[in-house]
Chain A
Amino acid sequence: MLEVSNLTIRFDGVPALDGADLEVEDRSIHVLMGPSGSGKSTMLRAIAGLEYPDSGDIAWNGLSVLSVPVHKRGFGLMFQDYALFPHRDVAGNVAFGLRMQGLGPAIIHDRVDEVLELVGLPGYGDRSVGTLSGGERQRVALARTLAPRPRLVLLDEPLGALDRSLREHLLVEMRAIFTQVEATVLYVTHDREEAFTIADRVAIINGGRIVADDTPEGLWHQPPDGWTARFIGLENLCTASRLSELGVQPPFETTTTGVIPPEAITMSPTGSHTATVAGSHFRGGAYRVELELGADSALVTWSPIGLEPGTTARFDIDPARISWFED
């Protein structure tokens, strides 16, 4: 198990990490998600040993690894730009970590074949890395990272350089691979869909601190604050008073904000609430509908049919699905 506690790293006095805490369970895929500049890559590099913290600790199974140099940590890191060795072919890249372990040629050869098979590139061993497509390079980088069986796999935006369709395909494949080899994974991304698809747990980082850490479902249904809710794509944040007007009472006096997930809103001709349709856009499969609730408040939901902007629509809200917090 990886334990990061109170990690702080400053660059020229400016904190990139500011007391970040994180725990990654064995054989789990933990996503670290945050906007650019939130410190997620710095955290990954610190865990790998490429940055040295100003304070705090990084421990593996209860033992601090801060004094262990990069090459002895046994943590694999896959770079966003892959950093493949241009002077070695695919097999030479994948074999690199195994050679560093001092394994024999026969064992290395078998392991290289095995890992290339795992990532779906059997027989690519003698190809030059310069001739590979983007997706193939990604797989080689993944194979190179997995080959030495690192006790922790760190991935820095591993799909960031690829186009959307390839990303979704590789994402599912990567999750299958990690499950198959029972890897412990810390995966950095800024993309919510990517995070939710691959993660067992998602930690949200903002301003150098971990602000939330939960399962994807848990985060969606009970975001800890408004910033996190918006960051993961929950747009309908309403004040308690506005919700009271809609007949939904907050559970406690102190809660000031409610988050209404789009699935809590049902468009229905017999609905008990009315709102003006501000916009309606086909997004494939359904329409994304914006409802105007008054001068300064809007709700976003999904509708199977398109609605004419400017008309009045009726809808119901399921109060049980609203999550509340003090903001």
Chain B
Amino acid sequence: MDRRESGALARRMGNCGAMRTRPWVLLLAAIPALFLAYFFVYPLVTILYTGLVPNGQFATSAFAEIVTNPTMRSVAWFTLWQAFLSTVFTVALGLPAAYVFARYRFPGRSLFRALTLIPFVLPTLVVGVAFLAVLGPGSPFGIDLRGTIWAILIAHVFYNLAIVIRGVGVLWEQIDPHIEDAARSLGAGRWRVFREVTLPLLRPAILSSAALVFLFSFTSFGVILVLGDLHHTTLEVEIWRQATAFLRLDLASALAVLQLVGVTVILLIYGRFSRRTAGELPLRPSAEVARRPRTTGERLFIAATLGMLGLIVAAPLVVLIGRSLSTPTGPALTHYANLINPPRASAVFVSPLDAIGNSLRFAIPAVIIAAGIGLMAAVVIVSARGRSGRIFDTILMLPLGTSAVTIGFGFLVALDQPVDLRASAILIPIAHALVAIPFVIRSTVPVMESVQRRLREAAAVLGASPRQAWREVDLPLVSRALAVGALFAFAISIGEFGATSFIARPATTTIPVAIFRLLGRPGTFGEAMAMAVVLMAITGIAAMGIESMRGSRSGGV
């Protein structure tokens, strides 16, 4: 095997300990590295340059403007505290749900669990429109929270709940209940067991999930754009507005730099806690841990939690569908028909049907680029174990943390050299791939690492050469994970709004961009909702594919 041979080589060379990275790994690393360098690092550097050297000479005027201008200051302040409140509420609601899924078996458990994942895969613009349908003008509940902080907070909880339920739940359902039993037998009551045993064990998972929720709320764009109604704007929205509406590239760049600093800090905190999650814990397969509820109290608790989840997750989606069908003359498919034959067609406005076609057309190259580069990167990360692998991993995760708007903005200011790519439609799938690559890596690397060394050894002693072992053992086990990653890439590409809003031209309008335009035009609110339902349906199909592929993994050997 590879390891044996290189280990043997290292020994022969009298070089015990550090293993050398093999040349093909470096070669393979070059492609993702170059991609990232040109389409990610270079645009970011250009933004930095534009912010600091606006007119050919160094100036901090743009940064000074942020500090002195009360509007800008309040934008920064609002960005922080809405993210903080969103995080607090999401964790508070997510923990009981994580507990229920981790520790109890009940009818419909896997269905409910799949349900909680829906909001997270939904495009942010769909989330925004859905909450506009529930809480905005014409709400069936008779309220209008549009433009208030509450609409934003509720939407953020809806969107991020899955992070906490998954992130904490996965650990929770594997913590050996015997540890808790041991604590109880030593005389600790239920509450003390939770406080002194369970909570400390879960702490890293809770904190890393919270950091992710904070990050996503911090860089939230679609939701705030739609629900904040420009009364409340965050750094992300302000970057977009300064760049596209006021053409203040220097100010937009300075805001982007400010936001990048914030993102980096959050990512560092996240990295710190997520590594701790991977520590040595006495874990058990989840199937052995969950049990049926025994007391009435437990049943009530489960029912209340599921009811709350159902309300938060299902209500906006149901109302969205309902309102997309409602017309002054009763339920009808009028809005959907208008998508196909727009009554108010205009020369500059691409027809909704064309937008759907565009989105699907961009999704294909986006998936190919993301899957290809993601797979190469994953192979490199797994092969180059140790420090260099970890660093490579972290660098490739950066686009996930960087806001989509910053990526789109970066393309706009940077990619006119050496060839002017800004007018090229290829930038759209590339931007989507950039956001999707981390998802491909995250879904393939754990599987690659868990293809135990032992399985490869077993193949080797049965006569498989290293190449055969890779083909026979690694590839079949990894291909399913790659398919999951590709579906993620598809869902991301279809729903991506932040970056696309910068680089899409009228002729290359995608579904989310079309929804946003429909929202902004008078009298097309119903069409916007119908379009959002279409986008939700396409994303939902991809999400179902992801769930079914994950669920049917044969395990336990």
Contact = CB atoms under 8 A, between A and B. Distances in A.
Nearest to A101: B463
A10 B5 CA distance: 16
Contacts of B4: 49-52, 69-70
Given A52-B8, A52-B11, A100-B468, A76 B462 contact: yes
Interface in A147-169: 148, 154
B201 interface: no
Most chain A beta-carbon neighbours within 10 Å: one of B11, B465, B554: B554
Contact of A83 (B17, B452, B463): B452
A96 to B, nearest CB: 5
B461 to A, nearest CB: 4
Q: Is the interface of B mostly helix, strand, loop or mixed?
A: helix
A81 B461 contact: no
Which of under 10, 10 to 19, 20 to 34, or 35 or more describes the interface residues of B?
A: 20 to 34
Interface stretch (A84-92, A110-118, A209-217): A84-92
A75 B462 contact: no
Interface in A63-94: 69-77, 79, 81-87
A186 B109 CA distance: 48
B5 A86 contact: no
A48 interface: yes
A256 interface: no
A96 B468 CA distance: 11
Most chain B beta-carbon neighbours within 10 Å: one of A10, A52, A86: A86
Contact of B472 (A52, A54, A76, A96): A96
Given A50-B1, A70-B457, A83-B452, A96 B462 contact: yes
Interface residues of A, number: 38
B468 A83 contact: no
Contact of A130 (B5, B465, B472, B555): B555
Contact of B477 (A79, A87, A100, A148): A87
B17 to A, nearest CB: 7
B73 to A, nearest CB: 56
B554 A97 contact: no
A204 to B, nearest CB: 25
Contacts of B557: 82, 84-86, 129-130, 137
12 contacts: A13-B16, A51-B4, A51-B7, A81-B454, A83-B452, A85-B455, A87-B554, A96-B464, A100-B459, A130-B555, A130-B556, A137-B557
In the A-B complex, list the 3 residue pairs whose CB atoms are closest, starting with the nearest: A100-B463, A97-B462, A52-B8
Given A85-B455, A86-B556, A87-B477, 20 more contacts: A48-B461, A49-B460, A50-B4, A69-B4, A71-B464, A71-B465, A71-B469, A72-B463, A77-B457, A77-B458, A79-B457, A84-B458, A84-B557, A85-B458, A87-B554, A96-B464, A97-B463, A100-B459, A128-B554, A129-B557
